[in-house]
Structure 1
Amino acid sequence: MKRNRKAKILATLGPASSSSNIIEAMFIAGCDVFRLNFSHDDIENHRKNVERIRSLEKKYDHSTCVLADLQGPKLRIGIFKNNEEELKKGNTFQLDLNNDQGDQKRVNFPHPEIYENLTPNTILLVNDGRIRLQIIEQGKDFLITEILNDGIISNNKGVNIPDVILPIDSLTSKDKSDLNKALDMGVDWVALSFVQQAEDIIKIKKLIKNKALVMAKIEKPSAVKNIDTILEVADGIMIARGDLGVEMPTEKVPIIQKNIINRCRFFGRPVVVATQMLESMITNFVPTRAEASDVANAIYDGTDAVMLSGESAIGKHPIESVNVMNNIIESVEKDKDNFDLENEEKKFKRKINNTDAITNAAYSIARNAEAKAIITFSVSGQTTMRMAKERAPVQIIGLSPNLTTSRKMQLVWGVNSCHTEDAHNTTDMVKIACTTAKNKQLVKPDDNIIITAGVPFGNAGSTNL
């Protein structure tokens, strides 16, 4: 199935979209990657959705991609006698380990492992920042805070702590259980929530053991600060603007988005822009003009993919949400000024290896020879991802004898990912490349194409041709 665009679309499955008919319709409308949100729904529903997604592969001769998004360590307060309380600016409010129900003076905050790190002047944001508290006194089992604004505080609301790297594992016991089940389902990507530093990614990779690629969700200031070291070890990045917008000033989020996309380009890592992209389509049939501009600007910035969350999971119009996003991307990519690659190349210079040299050359040849496609043979997908980094103006056809690799590459910018037989020699390589491109109607007769591969064939990481 050929897409008429290079940027990809992720769509979250949920109550509004967890049926074979809806999933197939979203796939046809343009969904490239299906996201399973392990913060919601039960394991059996996720398992059934994976089966529904994989059933499309044979019908459409097109690899599908599934991303499992783990919940992560979310901090929460306890419950109140009256379910909620009104807090007044200037008053004090205590968080403690007492299990009694809360009132206007205090509430349970059942996270003893972090109390020592929460020193005076630390800011706590409750309920997505609607309540701001500043610590004025710290104890081993209590925190006395000053209320910085009037507001309502209620049961089990989340707490964000922007300026502190917390001594908590990025994987909860629930996450570890969900991870094992997701890997058993055969998911292609795993997204790790609330990443703070590179070590968080290293830990989960040890558990995954190359069974899936790992995407770091950037939603904390500490992750923004450590973005380069995280990029060194992560396979991809998701800019999760929801929690990021809570923990950082709202006006800084667009700048951070642009900067992270640029860093991902430099490191050759796929990047996803997520959260509230077409939020109004949860209820409305058309998005706001501001939302359309938000999606368009992410494409202009050079993101690999944009993501639908509530729009496709719980919204009234999951299929139309995908269709609208698809149309916006196609419209932007028709703009001749969409992506000025040469200006980007001048900004980013780094030491290159053999694969870099081959892909650079392939891009240059494709541009000068007016080729219609660059075809990459890749067992691991690394050459295909490296080619996508170039943001070549022609389509990239990623061929792999490894079905899991073919599935993973569906997330990557500009890649038409195809599962094929392996080539045994150069003649095989050319035949498979031309036959696949022709059968899938990705090129026309007499079109020029560029092919990259590695000799000997079938060995990962050996791109030299």
Structure 2
Amino acid sequence: MTKIIVTLGPATSTEDDLRKIKDKGVDFVRINMSHSSIDDLKRYIAMAKKVGIPFIIDTEGSQVRTGELETPTIDLEEGDEVKIFASAIVGTKTQFNLKPVHVVPQLEIGDLIHVDFDSVTLRVTDISTLSQGYICTKAITGGTLGKNKATNVDRISTRPITLPPLSEKDMQSIKVGLDEGIGMIAASFMRSGKSVDFVRSATQNTMQVISKVECVEALENLNDILAKSDYVLIDRGDLSREIPLEKIPFTQKIILHRARKYSTPVFVATNLLETMITNKKPTRAEIHDVLNTIVDGAHGLTLAAETAIGKHPMECINMLNNLIDHARLAVDVEEFSDKEDKFVQTLEDKNYLFDFEVSSALIAPHGGKLVNRMAKEVPTPEYLEHLPKVQLDENRQRDVEQIAIGTYSPLEGFMGSTDFHSSLDRMRLANGLPWTLPIWLDVAEEVAHSLPVGSDVGLTNDENEVVAILHLEEKYTFEKEDMAQKMYATLDMEHPGVRMVMNLHPIMLGGKITLLKRRPAEFKEYELTPRQSRKLFDGKGWAKVVAFHTRNVPHRGHEFLQLDAMRRANCDGLFVHPVVGKKKPGD
């Protein structure tokens, strides 16, 4: 029988409410500790124990949230400059804080901060003020800023924000639970099996752990989390901040399917009967969603805002019971689940969980895949110290970064001989994909001789700091005259491109790269990675975009071209993409 968890709140705050809830067969109750105090927790536990309905401790977990504001909401417009403080303040239109406090020092120039759903997006523009307690941001999309709202950080690098599994308030909640003999804890934002172990240890191994799957890191470590948890709970609301909304249904199927292999029961939460917060009846889409979730094999369902703050909490529970009974009468869940195995396996084979382009309405990235060659973890200094080194000039430093962030997709490193010569001979990669210029790394003969194929090579900047690692796959020679002729159709040494080619070292290195550190740049605050750009387009609901690539300030003629292109191609938006880089003399 499908279980029900009910979230208590202002709409279900009395002992009579809990008696009605128990009478309707609800299995567990909880409160949302992100919006409740420790005193609230004690009061609700006391009522639940008196009524005789099992209570689940809820944690805030490792989530980034906005702080207090002087008004319930603040409207921000595109271009507004906002300071974000590391310590608690009362926020205004020009400043607010993020919590927990150790989040802000981890932010980098170029990080995008998305507040709540369909709301404000801020870009970090300056972190030099951190010594004064804040960083500077600018709104790149306007919207409403609310207090205590969940926040998703889209990092310029791929390194996650480091957060503890439990907050200080969570530890207080656990102590209350231990004192009251509570047997279950729902742990928010479990990111790995180690997080589950940490929570289990904090409860002194006395509580069953329900691990909430609500972030990409949880998906990356899903098997470990499933193996170490007593239950998992799919929080579809928070998860949809990090993956495209349209991926939630199939992602849910994959999680349920994997959980069956580990015999780990799964609860599903968020937006089950959302319209019943205000209406007495759900939508047909909500009924369809709930029935499909049950048929997919969910162990239980969680009502959240519907029963915490909704106008019709008891009717919600009645409706959910009705749908559970209907599903049980109509379908043998186990038999149906077996028939879905092939479908889910197809999704797994396509790496559906981590292919974030699969659901995008935008054209696929060049080559069909948006490359990401940025390291999630930096190797130890000892490892980097013992690597053979190759120093990069300014242009190669730019190239290695553009490869890593996906600008040069589908390239994952410096070209090998086959792609190098193919791009020169026919302006295509060896696989036939259009590619007009080679991307190379040239070294002197004595340097090449010291680098064995199959080894890792440290790529250094002007300060001899290892900024990337080349996974060396190939060393090869090339003809300078042939390269210059095919690139520039001349061998005239007055041509700067020809002079550049003739001054190259004689050996090329090919292989994938891993970027450890992005290069500093004067205009870093204005940069967007391809991934960030595509996410912003998706967030705006754009499917077709005109891009205007320019090295000059747009004038009225450019404006006409942009608007005319949008009209002719029936586009949804315009992306102005200025060239920023090394100037020629006289520019």
Say yes or no: TM over 0.5: yes
1:30 is aligned to 25
CA contact (8 A) 2:86 2:104 kept: no
What is the rounded CA distance, in whole Å, between the counterparts of 2:50 and 2:219 in structure 1? Answer: 36
Residue 72 of structure 1 aligns to a residue whose secondary structure is coil
How far off is 1:327 after superposition? 0.9
2:114 to 80, 105, 125: 125
Give yes or no for the alignment of 1:327 onto 2:316: no
How far off is 1:24 after superposition? 2.9
Residue 246 of structure 1 aligns to a residue whose secondary structure is helix
Greater RCO between the two (CA within 8 Å, min separation 6)?
1
Letter matched to residue 324 of structure 2: I
2:6 is aligned to 11
Letter matched to residue 51 of structure 1: K
How far off is 1:80 after superposition? 5.6
2:577 is aligned to none
Give yes or no for the alignment of 1:278 onto 2:273: yes
CA contact (8 A) 1:30 1:322 kept: no
1:144 is aligned to 136
2:336 is aligned to 340
2:54 is aligned to 65
1:57 is aligned to none
Change (3 A) 1:21 1:255: same
**Structure 2 matches for 1:97-108, cutoff 5 A?**
97=86, 104-108=93-97
How far off is 1:252 after superposition? 1.8
Letter matched to residue 249 of structure 2: P
What is the rounded CA distance, in whole Å, between the counterparts of 2:329 and 2:70 in structure 1? Answer: 58
More displaced stretch, 79-88 vs 244-253: 79-88
What is the rounded CA distance, in whole Å, between the counterparts of 1:13 and 1:81 in structure 2? Answer: 27
What is the rounded CA distance, in whole Å, between the counterparts of 2:306 and 2:65 in structure 1? Answer: 25
1:193 to 188, 193, 196: 188
Gaps of 5+ in 1: 1-5, 55-63, 350-465
More displaced stretch, 8-17 vs 197-206: 8-17
Letter matched to residue 128 of structure 1: F
> What percent of counterpart residues are identical?
30
How far off is 1:21 after superposition? 3.4
How far off is 1:153 after superposition? 2.7
Residue 114 of structure 2 aligns to a residue whose secondary structure is strand
CA contact (8 A) 1:73 1:172 kept: yes
Letter matched to residue 257 of structure 1: Q
CA contact (8 A) 1:165 1:196 kept: no
**Structure 2 matches for 1:6-405, cutoff 5 A?**
6-39=1-34, 40=36, 42-54=40-52, 65-78=54-67, 85-97=74-86, 104-109=93-98, 111-139=100-128, 140=130, 141-161=133-153, 165-336=160-331, 338=333, 339-343=335-339
What is the rounded CA distance, in whole Å, between the counterparts of 2:74 and 2:307 in structure 1? Answer: 34
More displaced stretch, 196-205 vs 9-18: 9-18
Letter matched to residue 323 of structure 2: I
What is the rounded CA distance, in whole Å, between the counterparts of 1:333 and 1:284 in structure 2? Answer: 26
CA contact (8 A) 1:76 1:158 kept: yes
How far off is 1:260 after superposition? 1.1
Matched positions, count: 335
Cα shift readout 1:174-194 (whole Å, capped 9, x = no counterpart): 111111111222222101112
How far off is 1:37 after superposition? 3.2
CA contact (8 A) 1:266 1:348 kept: no
CA contact (8 A) 1:129 1:246 kept: no
CA contact (8 A) 1:126 1:132 kept: yes
Cα shift readout 1:149-202 (whole Å, capped 9, x = no counterpart): 122335554422256532221211111111111122222210111222222111
Gaps of 5+ in 2: 346-587
Q: Choose 1 or 2 for highest CA Rg.
A: 2
Change (3 A) 1:316 1:115: closer
More displaced stretch, 279-288 vs 83-92: 83-92
Report the TM-score, using the length of structure 1 for normalisation: 0.65
1:450 is aligned to none
Change (3 A) 1:123 1:334: same
Change (3 A) 1:112 1:180: closer
How far off is 1:65 after superposition? 3.3
CA contact (8 A) 1:26 1:318 kept: no
What is the rounded CA distance, in whole Å, between the counterparts of 1:348 and 1:162 in structure 2? Answer: 28
How far off is 1:343 after superposition? 3.6
What is the rounded CA distance, in whole Å, between the counterparts of 1:75 and 1:268 in structure 2? Answer: 31
Change (3 A) 1:82 1:303: closer
Letter matched to residue 205 of structure 1: R
CA contact (8 A) 2:86 2:105 kept: no
CA contact (8 A) 1:30 1:323 kept: no
What is the rounded CA distance, in whole Å, between the counterparts of 2:263 and 2:97 in structure 1? Answer: 44
Change (3 A) 1:38 1:76: closer
What is the rounded CA distance, in whole Å, between the counterparts of 1:16 and 1:82 in structure 2? Answer: 24
What is the rounded CA distance, in whole Å, between the counterparts of 2:198 and 2:243 in structure 1? Answer: 26
CA contact (8 A) 1:8 1:306 kept: yes
Residue 65 of structure 1 aligns to a residue whose secondary structure is coil
What is the rounded CA distance, in whole Å, between the counterparts of 1:314 and 1:185 in structure 2? Answer: 26
Question: In angstroms, what is the RMSD of aligned CA positions?
Answer: 2.9
How far off is 1:347 after superposition? 8.8
Change (3 A) 1:9 1:221: same
